[in-house]
Structure 1
Amino acid sequence: MRFGISHCNVGEFAEPDRAHDLARLAEQAGFESLWTVEHVVIPQVYEPRYPETPDGRFWFPHDLPLADPLIWMAFVAAATTRLRLGTGIMIVPQRNPLITAKEIATLDRLSGGRIEIGVGAGWLREEFEALGVSFDRRGSAMDEAIAVMRELWRPGPRTYRGKVFSFDPVHSEPSPHRASVPIHIGGASTVAARRAGRTGDGFFPGGYDREAVASLVACARKEFEASGRVGRLEITARWTKDPSQLGDHEILRFMQDLGVDRVVLPAQTIAENGLERTIAELGSNVLPTFASPSPQERKA
């Protein structure tokens, strides 16, 4: 497995010095990647349907700093040389895919091909309404947005005809560093798992419950095979958000047996135990035991 850190653009790490501290320490310790999250706005009042807490509400305050994921990634890319940088996840239906494709391709080109994009349909209706974007059409908008971005990352003039997005031949340069940018489908539902199996380069199941994650991964892999796709679906899963469980490696062995490719740990969990000390301990005691090379390292 490879190891990453998630929620890197949240709270104290939305500040420049702390963002650089986190990235520098993670790169030195041997972490493979840093992952960001996205909410443009968080409504003061919303229907409690957050999928990862029992009461359906965010686990953090409404006014917690949450930096724009792509800008944060660009800032950190300029200060690092090896770390891969990803969104886990970006709420694609809220975005214009032509602009987003340009931003991602530019960032991937400038970072030397170090970008991973996790995308999700979103769950917060009130946020969609504040942005003037249809919540009910978010699934179809997301499917088309993925297709549009991949189309624009191909060379030459590109055309797209869909129910949500359409355009005549256009050019969008620069192109990504490699042929494209990996797109991971994120979510804690079977709908997300099936979408990942059909269209994703990877799957990023939400939540920390082992049985739920195993079920979602099995669903995604089944859909991948049923769709007749070749190769394999990369799996990124979460480790724990409880600092007291950092010494419990049973869940890592479970993830390893499940065939998970990458495990991520929230930055806030690391920080609660002392950022520098905890990252160093993980780099010395955990990563060497469970880590495996990335696809880029294997190709090299």
Structure 2
Amino acid sequence: MDFGIQLPSIVHHDKPLDYLVNLVKEADQMGYKYLSYTDHFGPGRPQLDPLTTSTAVAGASGRMRIVPAIMLIVMRGIVPTAKHLATLDVLTGGRVIAGVGPGSQDREYEIVGLDHKERWPRFDEAAKALRSLLVPGAPSFKGRYYSTEGVSFEPRGAQKPHIPIWIGSWGSEAGLRRVARLGDGWLGSALDSTPERFKDAKARLEAFLRQQGKDPATFPNAVCTMALYVSNNRAAFEGMGQPPERARREGEPPRERVMVGTFSECEEKLHRWKEAGAQALFLRPVQDDLEQAYTFMNKVASKL
């Protein structure tokens, strides 16, 4: 199992770029394999633009794969999204994974002038249009909402055969079918999953992949938005790792799905995620980013 570190959405530091560059550099040296970031337009809390931030720290990322988890391609637009991903792939020597999804917040669609009810048909087209731009030799795409006909797009990235496109899904049947149909990998979310539900979703995804003529054994996955706070001082993490209200399930402990707890508790959770078939976890420190990244690797992951 591999691990990724998620960039904080806001930095309360007098030198934010220095702080982030140091975090990324140290995470690479600790053995983290992925650098991820979430994409939101608000509202409700201050956030740095993740595209700008990821580009600013890319030079310090060493060998890590860079994965937006997820990028809101419907709201950002297909050509600008493809241009960002392809440019970042060139600048990093081919280390980008295009993690994409529609997003779930209706207010975000409203503030960019789009209808939230159209997000799924728009996303289906957007994923196909994105592939037509990033994959050399792919046919152009023309749909109801998007068209890449006549679009000259270069460079398409540095890696061969192309930048992989991973589709985000919380695990519904429609979402998993979409992953199998449109993706090169699956991004699950700790916001709405447990190891047991992930295992069930993975089994269903494998059946859908076979229907698409794809080999489940070579289809990667990762679980993102995994809140992290590990401490043997129980008072330090009380109230942490709580998922948003919309993601909570009746009767289910909110911390059941995230990496918040004592060393032994998080070690047990990690074993459950591995046994469920999760290939990577993208961890989001709740606070004390660098200290938590180090503690997890040395006190929890080392026991795997």
Whether the TM-score (by the shorter chain) exceeds 0.5 is: yes
1:277 aligns to 2:291 (yes or no)? yes
Answer whether contact 1:115 1:181 (CA < 8 A) is retained. Answer: yes
Q: Which residue of 2 aligns with 1:26?
A: 27
Secondary structure of the corresponding residue to residue 63 of structure 2: coil
| Residues 25 and 62 in structure 2, CA contact (< 8 A), matched pair in contact too | no
Residues 168 and 187, structure 2, Cα contact 8 Å, conserved in 1:
yes
Q: Distance in 1 between matches of 2:169 and 2:48?
A: 21
Say if 1:280 and 1:157 are closer, same or farther in 2 by CA, change over 3 A: closer
**Partner letter of residue 10 of structure 1?**
S
How far apart, in 1, do the equivalents of 2:90 and 2:131 lie?
15
1:75 aligns with 2:74: no
One-letter amino acid of the structure 1 residue matched with residue 221 of structure 2: I
**Equivalent AA in structure 2 for residue 232 of structure 1:** T
What is the TM-score with the length of structure 2 in the denominator? 0.79
Q: 1:13 to 1:189 in 2, by over 3 A?
A: farther
Once residues 145 and 99 of structure 1 are traced to their aligned partners in structure 2, the CA distance between those partners, rounded to angstroms, is 12
Q: CA offset at residue 229 of structure 1?
A: 1.5
TM-superposed deviation, 1:259: 2.0
Report the Cα distance in structure 2 between the residues aligned to 1:216 and 1:72, rounded to whole angstroms.
32
Q: Superposed, which structure 2 residues align to 1:230-249 within 5 Å?
A: 230=215, 232-238=218-224, 239-241=226-228, 242=241, 243-248=260-265, 249=267
CA distance in 2, matches of 1:187, 1:134: 20
Contact 1:9 1:68 in 2 (8 A): no
Q: Which consecutive unaligned segments of at least 5 residues does structure 2 have?
A: 229-240, 242-259
Aligned to 1:211: 196
Q: Could you give the per-residue CA deviations for residues 125-182 of structure 1, whole angstroms, max 9, x where no partner exists?
A: 1221111112122112112111112111233696322121124333211121113212
Instruction: Name the structure 1 match of 2:164.
Output: 182
Q: Is the 8 A contact 2:132 2:148 kept in 1?
A: no
Structure 1: runs of 5 or more not aligned: 43-61, 291-300
| 2:30 aligned with 1:5 | no
Q: CA deviation at 1:73?
A: 1.2
Once superposed, what is the RMSD of the aligned Cα atoms? 2.3
Change (3 A) 1:264 1:144: same
Contact 1:157 1:169 in 2 (8 A): no
Which one of the candidate residues 150, 157, 172 is aligned to 2:131? 150
Partners in 2 of 1:166 and 1:276 — Cα distance?
43
Kindly indicate whether the alpha-carbon contact (under 8 Å) linking 2:202 and 2:277 is maintained by their aligned counterparts in 1: no
C-alpha contact (below 8 Å) 2:227/2:285 kept by paired residues? no
User: Aligned residue for 2:98?
Assistant: 117
TM-score (norm 1): 0.80
Identity of aligned residues (%): 27
CA–CA separation in structure 1 for the residues paired with 2:219 and 2:12? 30
Contact 1:150-1:180 at 8 Å conserved across structures: no
- Aligned match of 2:251: none
Match of 1:298 in 2: none
CA distance in 2, matches of 1:70, 1:95: 11
